[in-house]
């Protein structure tokens, strides 16, 4: 009896504690590990710099002063308590600099309280095999990677906490400036200046409709009198048409050209964000949020599966086991499209190559197989990831372009048609990127054969100026210039939008008046800080810290002391523009009768009563008169509830319910007298159009251009 009692009192074996960053990831991993493991989430950083002060000891090697993040003390205490009851703690935060720092802080916090073995585990995908393999090979925390994160955090804090107070003092309270975001803002502002200064030039094209038997086709003038045609105006086109009218048309020659199309490598973070923006219309932030969900785990029936590998990467490298798996799948489904050897892709020179490319964890989970378990957005993103990866290991495709030249006197018209003759990797891409495959085939025409000219089609065009940045193009530019890293592209854009330094208009990034003021000041007085090459060099130095080639305090010191000296100089010498941004207006306060002032606020300019603080009346600045007949209201900017999307409506709402999503500009239509708005489409780019639906007046990009007609 005594032995039974003793047996009953034996302590149960302790569990191993695994700490990840998110609850969704914890849920997936706990299912994989089962008994003997407890999986908890840290919810990101628990320990960081305080928000209320700079907290960097600049006189002592820039030692940061870390504290427990406000509101996270209870969670940290719970994790410490869980660690005490565990046989081992495995820190499984993300395998990047931020994740390493999270693990480092957790380890230090746990060991400051209790003696328990603490190790680091890393994995690139959340699958049973990857998780169990990582647990078999625990390691120490990478101190160099932690130092790289620490250096980046300290540098950003020193820049932000010195520039922001300067902006508060000289421009407006509540402003802020960040190291990397300010460079992105500079790029966006410089592009906007190019857009505004661009003067479109008129040019024309000349097409001809031709007929051969029952077949009709359209060809474009490509040569006149042995040279490329110069058609600057309608008169030039008319002169050519008069020369050619009534003259016979015949086939000059037909050429066929085959082109080999190689599949593209699997996605990196930036390429995924670009594709999702261009094809799906997703913002960078939305793309990363959905990718995070796919990575952390989705319930596929009764099984929880991490569907893709880690989504923050700059490498196109693929694990050998994944290549073997996808080649086996291709060999079974599309044996004719399986290359003899695996396709290999070069990793970019700037790539850190810490992670694989973004790929599905299991090729067998096709988009069709998982579609019933995913939301529409998840399925769309997963589909392009799956297609891009599988196609990357398939055979080349081949296209054939047939071009026929038609001669009329001294003019040559050309018509071309392209089709895919060998599908290759296009077999798995449902949304065929090649428009050629949908082109109408040309009739078989031989040299010397006569064709009939049906009619000419002269068309007026205007040269397109530089396009504003979109999520896709700014990410592409940041990557090409070496600014930021895969984990920072989406936050850079989000911060600029959140601060209202930039807005989205027709998916384009447009600097606000506030953004321009901040940028102009930073470029004039801190040009080196917002310099593209300087920022790119900082990224290279951070890589050097991670590779243990550079001592981070020395790197920070070389930047900080000259920077701080410049901040002090500007603080002393720069005149404050506070209050000078306010402008007197002719508007009168409807509440007290005093004049209204034009002020710069969080969301741009607005009208405020000059009788403040006795009268606190404010309202939006009128942009135009209401176009509704009989209405004497004015059009002002408004925002939708919830998402805060901007639109434009009448001040007499609800009596007048006129609204438009096109922004009124400071111009009136020369044809009908109503106000003009800015529009955008892929064909015309940015252009100005009359708000009157019964008026067809349209202007290309700039008032200097000639009017055309909207089609």
Which positions are catalytic? 310
Question: What are the tokens at 344?
Answer: 């290999």
Q: How far apart are CA 168 and CA 176, in angstroms?
A: 8
State the Cα angle at 23 between 145 and 110, rounded to 5°: 50
Strand order across the 707-709 sheet: 663-668, 675-681, 685-690, 697-700, 707-709
Who contacts 549 (Cβ-Cβ below 8 Å, separation ≥6)? none
Cα separation, 297 vs 365, whole angstroms: 13
360: which DSSP letter?
A: B
Which residue's structure tokens are 């710069």?
A: 600
User: Residue 84 is inside which H or E element, if any?
Assistant: helix 73-84
Calculate the CA dihedral of residues 146, 152, 154, 155 and round it to 10 degrees: 160
| SS3 state of residue 95 | coil
Taking alpha carbons only, the member of 91, 89, 80, 137 closest to residue 117 is 89
Helix 143-170 and helix 97-111: axis angle, to 10°? 100
SS3 517: helix
In a 3-state reduction of DSSP, which class is residue 339? coil
Q: How far is CA 133 from the centre of its chain?
A: 34
Give dist(CA 139, CA 128) in Å, integer.
Answer: 19
Nearest-angstrom CA–CA distance, 615 and 599: 15
Contact 367, 332 (CB under 8 A): no
- CA dist 654 and 419 (Å) reads 55
DSSP letter for each residue of 646-657:
EEEEETTTTT--
Long-range Cβ pairs for the range 637-640 (8 Å, 24+): 637/604, 637/663, 639/603
Q: In sequence order, what are the beta bridge partners of 405?
A: 253, 414
- Look up tokens 């993040």; give the residue: 69
Cβ(485)–Cβ(546) under 8 Å? no
CA distance 111 to 119: 11
Beta bridge pairs of residue 608:
597, 618
Whether the Cβ atoms of residue 181 and residue 426 lie closer than 8 Å to each other = no
Distance CA 376, CA 239 (A): 55
CA distance 29 to 619: 53
The dihedral built from the CA positions of residue 147, 153, 154 and 159, taken in this order, carries a sign that is positive
Cβ neighbours of residue 291 closer than 8 Å, sequence gap 6 or more: 272, 308, 311, 358, 381, 385
């Amino acid at each position: 009896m005594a032995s039974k009692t003793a047996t009953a009192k034996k302590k149960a074996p302790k569990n191993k504690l695994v700490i990840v960053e998110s609850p969704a990831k914890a849920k997936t991993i706990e299912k994989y590990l089962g008994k003997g493991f407890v999986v908890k989430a840290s919810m990101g950083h628990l320990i960081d710099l305080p928000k209320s002060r700079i907290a960097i000891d600049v006189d002592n090697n820039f030692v940061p002063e870390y504290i427990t993040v406000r509101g996270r003390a209870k969670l940290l205490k719970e994790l410490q308590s869980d660690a005490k009851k565990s046989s081992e703690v495995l820190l499984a935060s993300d395998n990047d600099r931020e994740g390493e720092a999270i693990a480092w802080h957790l380890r230090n916090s746990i060991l400051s309280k209790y003696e328990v073995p603490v190790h680091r585990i890393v994995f690139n995908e959340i699958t049973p095999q990857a998780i169990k393999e990582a647990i078999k090979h625990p390691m120490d925390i990478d101190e160099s990677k932690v130092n790289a994160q620490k250096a980046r955090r300290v540098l950003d804090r020193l820049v932000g906490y010195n520039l922001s107070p300067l902006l508060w003092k000289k421009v407006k309270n509540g402003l802020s400036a960040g190291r990397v975001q300010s460079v992105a803002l500079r790029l966006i502002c410089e592009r906007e200046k190019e857009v505004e200064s661009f003067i479109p030039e008129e040019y024309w094209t000349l097409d001809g409709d031709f007929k051969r038997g029952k077949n009709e086709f359209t060809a474009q003038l490509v040569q006149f009198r042995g040279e490329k045609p110069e058609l600057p105006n309608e008169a030039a086109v008319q002169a050519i048409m008069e020369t050619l009218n009534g003259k016979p048309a015949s086939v000059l020659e037909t050429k066929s050209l085959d082109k080999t199309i190689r599949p593209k490598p699997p996605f990196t973070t930036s390429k995924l964000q670009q594709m999702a923006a261009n094809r799906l219309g997703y913002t960078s932030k939305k793309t990363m949020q959905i990718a995070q969900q796919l990575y952390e785990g989705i319930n596929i029936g009764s099984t929880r599966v991490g569907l893709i590998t880690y989504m923050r990467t700059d490498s196109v490298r693929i694990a050998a086991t994944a290549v073997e798996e996808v080649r086996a799948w291709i060999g079974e489904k599309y044996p004719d499209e399986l290359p003899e050897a695996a396709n290999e892709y070069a990793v970019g020179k700037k790539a850190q190559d810490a992670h694989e490319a973004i790929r599905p964890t299991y090729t067998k989970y096709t988009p069709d197989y998982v579609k019933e378990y995913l939301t529409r957005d998840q399925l769309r993103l997963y589909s392009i990831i799956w297609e891009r990866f599988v196609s990357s290991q398939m055979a080349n495709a081949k296209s054939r372009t047939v071009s026929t030249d038609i001669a009329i006197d001294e003019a040559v018209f050309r018509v071309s048609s392209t089709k895919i003759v060998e599908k290759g990797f296009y077999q798995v891409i449902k949304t065929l990127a090649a428009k050629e495959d949908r082109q109408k085939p040309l009739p078989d025409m031989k040299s010397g054969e006569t064709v009939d000219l049906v009619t000419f089609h002269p068309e007026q065009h205007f040269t397109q100026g530089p396009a504003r940045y979109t999520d896709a193009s700014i990410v592409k530019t940041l990557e090409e210039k070496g600014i930021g890293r895969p984990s920072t592209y989406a936050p850079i854009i989000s911060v600029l939008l959140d601060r209202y330094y930039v807005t989205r208009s027709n998916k384009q990034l447009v600097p606000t008046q506030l953004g321009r003021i901040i940028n102009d000041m930073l470029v004039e007085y801190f040009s080196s800080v917002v310099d593209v090459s300087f920022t790119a060099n900082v990224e290279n130095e951070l890589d050097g810290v991670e590779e243990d080639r550079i001592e981070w305090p020395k790197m920070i010191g070389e930047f900080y002391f000259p920077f701080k000296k410049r901040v002090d100089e500007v603080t002393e010498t720069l005149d404050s523009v506070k209050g000078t941004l306010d402008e007197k207006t002719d508007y009168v306060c409807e509440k007290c009768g005093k004049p209204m002032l034009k002020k710069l606020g969080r969301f741009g300019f607005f009208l405020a009563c000059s009788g403040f603080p006795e009268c606190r009346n404010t309202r939006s600045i009128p942009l135009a008169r209401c176009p509704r007949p009989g209405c004497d209201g004015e059009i002002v900017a408004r925002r939708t509830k919830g998402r805060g999307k901007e639109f434009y409506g009448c001040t007499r709402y609800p009596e007048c319910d006129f609204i438009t999503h096109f922004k009124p500009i400071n111009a009136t239509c020369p044809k009908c007298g109503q106000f003009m708005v800015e529009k955008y489409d892929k064909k015309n780019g940015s252009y100005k159009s009359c708000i009157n639906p019964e008026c067809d007046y349209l202007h290309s990009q700039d008032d200097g251009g000639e009017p055309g007609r909207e089609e």
